[in-house]
Structure 1
Amino acid sequence: MCELYVKADPILYESRSRSLRIRGVVTTLRLENQFWDILAEIAEADGMTTNQLITRLYEEVMDFRGEVLNFASFLRVSCTRYLSQRRAQVTELSVVRSNAG
């Protein structure tokens, strides 16, 4: 089982920093490449750039919570929640297809 994880391309878990402007302040985020790839996928699905998506997520979490102590961790959790939701949708679709057949 562990081979699935240990054989991952090291590029996926290398960190990369990106600078962007959020609410007029230039900030730098450091995430692993795999998370940047997932954020780009989410952004594309929503018709945005990755920076636009990150800015929107920041604004929404600030409006909802009033603060975010570790925004990079928030983004990582957002990515895993997106993947879980996508997996659930695929599972639901396959159940519907198998019941229709």
Structure 2
Amino acid sequence: MCNIFASQDPATYACETRAIRLHGHCTSIRLESAFWRILERIAAAEGSSVTRFLVTLHDEVLARRGEIGNFASLLRVTCLLWLENQDRHAAEVAARSLQAA
């Protein structure tokens, strides 16, 4: 029953720590490799680097909520939401591009 999940490469769930700079402050984020790959895909769809995407997301969440309790968890759920809503995201990116033109 769980062959597709049980047979995955352990590298996909190995943790990877990346350092990023948020408004001049260095911080590190530890996520499983699979999540970093999804974040790379999201950033590419946005026409951005992963770091730039993370900074933008961080700023937008702060503006809406005033705080971020657990940024790594927010990033994991962001990946899941993107996987479930890729068409909607593509439409939003396209709409932003039209507005910018």
Q: TM-score range, shorter-chain basis?
A: 0.7 to 0.9
Structure 1 counterpart of 2:20: 20
What TM-score results when the alignment is normalised by the length of structure 2? 0.83
Structure 1 counterpart of 2:2: 2
What TM-score results when the alignment is normalised by the length of structure 1? 0.83
Closer, same or farther in 2 for the Cα pair 1:45/1:69, shift >3 Å? same
CA RMSD of aligned residues (A): 1.6
- CA offset at residue 81 of structure 1? 0.2
Count of residue correspondences: 89
Could you tell me how far apart the structure 2 residues matched to 1:63 and 1:8 are?
38
**4+ runs deviating over 2 angstroms:** 86-89
Structure 1 gap segments, 5+ residues each: 90-101
Look up the equivalent residue of 2:16 and give its one-letter code: R
Identity %: 39
Report the structure number with the largest CA radius of gyration: 1
Could you tell me how far apart the structure 2 residues matched to 1:8 and 1:73 are?
22
